[in-house]
Chains A and B, each alone.
Chain A
Amino acid sequence: MCCMIDSDIPIINSKLLREKIQENSIRIVDVRREQEYQQGHITNSVNLPLAKLLADDSSESIQKIAQDLGISDETPAVIYDDTFGALSSRVVWALQYIGHKDVKLLDVTFSQWKDLGYEISTEVPEIETATHSVKINSEIMATAEYLEKVKENKNVVIIDNRERLNYLEQHIPGAINIPYRTLASDGKILRTKEGMKTLLKNRGISEDAEIITYCGSVGTLSGLAYYALKSIGVPNVKLYVHSFKEWKSLEKPIDKQENANYWDLSAE
């Protein structure tokens, strides 16, 4: 195992990954659509279209996916996408959910990788299936029921990662809004650790809080927030995987910013 997969380093530096590409000891996973993958991907990466994971996110299914991709309990995995890290964070979360320890995001998107002139290929590497155990990590999962139960607790912070206008229009009562775009910085999918800490500090969010993130429907945008928080060492972060879509369908209470026509400020 290589040094860069040291679990203290939260996110994989693209330069380092380049050097490690040829090593078969790590698994690079491209979560874009199959067609996009076929047109070119990071050399030696394998494809896991996010839709496949979302189709069935039972722990058995995640386990099978990991095994088919040749990811064993010990295989360090690096995930990337072309969507500012949101899709890949959702995959990271799923692997962590079944107990995988060493899985990280690449710090740039596929387009940025390509623009940097780094190695890409159309070749599909051979995959040897592996064995992966299932040790459910319930610490990182929030359900609607759980959220409803704890949301009044003083130590709980609920973060909505959708865009501002969607949040203003409706959100889970008590949730605060950190649009997913806030998490990025120039040319990197995430802020620096220091930048993340400043954001939390300004917002008065304690790193000791229990943080639950959610977004619109399947936990991608909030997956990125989950990952960003984890990556700076916030110990207790949970993803409300089924997010606001489920919350609404369950007819749970919703808050709204009243008496203002903010949508009319948008040029969309």
Chain B
Amino acid sequence: MAQQLRPSKPADKQSKIDWSRRQEAENFAETVKLFRQGKIDPDMFRRFRLQHGAYGTRMTDDYAMVRIKVPAGQVYPNQLEKIAQLSEMYSIGSAHFSTRENIQLHWVILEDVSEIMQSLSDVGMTSREACGNTVRNVMCSPMSGVCKDEIFDTTPYALAIARFMLRNPICQGLPRKFKFNFTCCEKHGMIRIVDVGLLPQIQEIDGEKRKGFKIFLGGGLGNRSFVGHQLEDFTPVEDLLYTSMAVIRIFDRMGDRKNLSRNRMRYLVNDLGWEKFQNLVLKERAVVKATQSVIVKLNIDDSVNEIQRPISVNDESASVPDGYARWEKTNVEKQSQSGFNSVFIGLEAGDITANQLRSVAEIIRDYSAEGFARNGFSQNIVIRYVHDDDLKSMYSRLIENGLAKTGSLTMASAVGCSGTTSCNLALTNSHRLAKEVQRKFLELNYDEDDDLKDSTIKISGCPNSCGQHQIATIGFYGGGGRHGTDMFPNYTMSLGGKFDEDAMLGHHTARVPVKRIIPVILKIIELFKENKQSDDTLAKWIDRVVSGNESSKITGVDDIKKAIAPLIVPPNVEDEPDFYMDYGSDTNYHTVTGKGECAA
């Protein structure tokens, strides 16, 4: 509270777009009251709640999880400060950065949600359509605008689509949720595992350079996952809106509204067959174009962001802080703009305290020449436009605030969904497991190992894939195992998932008891080290193993299975009681789940 009274630094950048609508907060409060009085049907209330960005919480009706949308991941210092305050007032004193660039507040009392919505309006944010059968947060690569391999910055297009879809009547009752991802290049975005993925392209037509996209449709992760199909060679930017509307209209009309477990658009694409679906989209687009009575246009703000380096905070005399080299190597990416860097702030499974959020806000003001931050794809924050000369001083500031965890850009930063910390459907504590894996990797200095750099570990607490385990080099999803009459948390491990241009879902390889996951990962790394080629990486090696193209001692998944088999045999309860407990729990494991809202 005190800091609000201190004179704020000049030129604090604020979001140009106000995503909020103030009346929605009051309306929400009223509706909660009617629901509590039994005057609204629970199913109707649930749809309403989700439409406004509030999920249910594990085993209780008293609490909600509020998902704050951050379109294109673009987040401003005053917004982070507001969320810090809200997390202390209404949540657990920590907030969560999600894999889809949202920021979440957990364990919020349902009756307090409207106050959060109200306060979010003060800083132009909304949770509207963050859940439910709507167009979810429109993502954009955190490197868009600074990526060395990008063709043009897609951020303005991502923001324009987000703006067009939010509260748009055509998106209020889709058969199921709908996701857009924009990227800078194949490597930095996840365009093939969403309903609509967009990669920037330039095409020269009659000597004139035209901006456009490669559009991928019908991908998605879940109980059954699919990789998206490319619609056409090139879609000019003028057709972006028409194409998006065409796809949404087809989905709205033909999507399966009955069978809740298979109503994402990818199932429709799969059922019709790609070619048929593709034709439908192209035809529909022609109709949309021809029948627009008023010309609908995207509101694209193409103005250039002001880049102004804050007063240099660099202290020449300062010595290089301990651990700097390791941090720089594993958390900093050079930008296409010379002299500038993007700094990745690693969090444990996306969690951050209120005080750390305030520090991040201050650090953005002091170090970022663009004056805001971008949420990443792996539960992290990216502060961009940091000058070469300021990196060391920034590192010191990050250390002071517990924000200098190394390995953000490496395999060490494991992703874990909410799991049993808050999710109704969870079977295991995937969230804590991700933290344990990360801690182990950092303890072993694996973040510094170049062989591991391009690999990922992602963990879901049940088959629903919120942790995106299928696109991880080593992925896990939770379940229950049994030895005699005793249950233990048992994860299914998949190997070789990828989300780039060769997007592929991981191969189910083995079931691994939770307390053996770390040893099994270490064993796989050991096998790799023994059998790798000179310029190999773990990801490449696993790729060869799962596709049967590896010629060393390990020729396929079966050899890995054999090698880890001794590790995954359940001991007797008396010999190792800990084996039968999940992380974060001191009692024997049993599965408990509540009513899921995934299809809501």
Chain A residues engaging chain B, CB cutoff 8 angstroms:
84, 108-109, 111-112, 115-116, 163-165, 168, 177, 179, 181-182, 184, 186-189, 198-199, 202-204, 257-268
Question: Which B residues are CB-close (under 8 A) to A258?
Answer: 59
Are B432 and A261 interface neighbours, CB within 8 A? yes
Residue of A nearest to B106 (CB): A265
Shortest B216–chain A CB gap in Å is 33
- With CB as the reference atom, state the residue of chain A lying closest to B5: A115
- Asked if A265 meets B29 with Cβ closer than 8 Å, knowing A260-B58, A260-B421, the reply is no
List 7 contacting pairs A-B, 8 Å CB cutoff, sorted by A: A202-B32, A204-B33, A204-B36, A261-B583, A263-B421, A265-B106, A266-B93
- Residues of B whose CB lies within 8 Å of any CB of A are 1-2, 4-6, 29, 32-33, 36, 57-60, 85, 88-94, 96, 106-107, 109, 111-112, 114-115, 347-348, 351-353, 356, 418-422, 429, 431-432, 435, 582-585, 592
When chains A and B are docked, how far (Å) is the Cα of A95 from the Cα of B122?
Answer: 38
Contact A264 to B93, CB < 8 A, known contacts A109-B2, A257-B60, A259-B592: no
A184, B429: Cα distance in complex, Å: 34
Determine the chain A residues whose CB is within 8 A of the CB of B33 once the complex forms: 202, 204
B351 touching A267, Cβ below 8 Å:
yes
Q: Given A184-B1, A265-B96, A265-B418, do A260 and B59 touch, yes or no (CB 8 Å)?
A: yes
Tally of A-B Cβ pairs under 8 angstroms: 120
Q: Are B1 and A268 in contact (CB-based, < 8 A)? A: no
The complex places the Cα of A111 from the Cα of B4 at a distance, in Å, of 11
Q: How many Å lie between the Cα of A232 and that of B581 in the bound state?
A: 48
Measured in the bound complex, the distance between the Cα atoms of B2 and A262 in whole Å is: 29
Q: A179: shortest Cβ distance to chain B, in Å?
A: 7
In the complex, the chain A residue whose C-beta lies closest to that of B118 is A198
Q: Is the CB of A265 within 8 A of B59?
A: no
- Give A187 to B7 CA distance when docked, in angstroms: 13
**With A179-B89, A261-B431, A268-B93 as contacts: A199 and B353 at CB distance below 8 Å:** no
| B1 contacts A165, C-beta separation under 8 Å | no
Minimal Cβ-Cβ distance residue in A for B6: A115
Contact status A164-B107, CB under 8 Å: yes
Shortest distance between the CB of B259 and any CB in chain A (Å): 29
* Separation of A165 and B353 alpha carbons in the complex (Å): 13
What is the CA–CA distance of A69 and B92 in the complex, to the nearest angstrom? 39
Chain B residues contacting A189 (CB-CB under 8 Å) are 1
- Whether the Cβ atoms of B115 and A261 lie closer than 8 Å is no
Residue of A nearest to B420 (CB): A261
**A266 and B92 contact, CB distance less than 8 A:** yes
Give A53 Cβ to nearest chain B Cβ, in Å. Answer: 24
Q: Give the CA-CA distance A265 to B105 in the complex, in Å.
A: 10
Contact B114 A202 (CB under 8 A): yes
Q: With CB as the reference atom, state the residue of chain B lying closest to A177.
A: B109
How far, in angstroms, from A115 to B2 measured CA to CA in the complex? 8
Bound complex: CA A220 to CA B8 (Å): 31
Rounded to whole Å, the gap between the CB of A215 and the closest CB of chain B is 15
* Chain A residues positioned under 8 Å from B59 (CB to CB): 257-260
Which residues of chain B are within 8 angstroms of A164 by Cβ–Cβ distance?
A: 91-93, 107
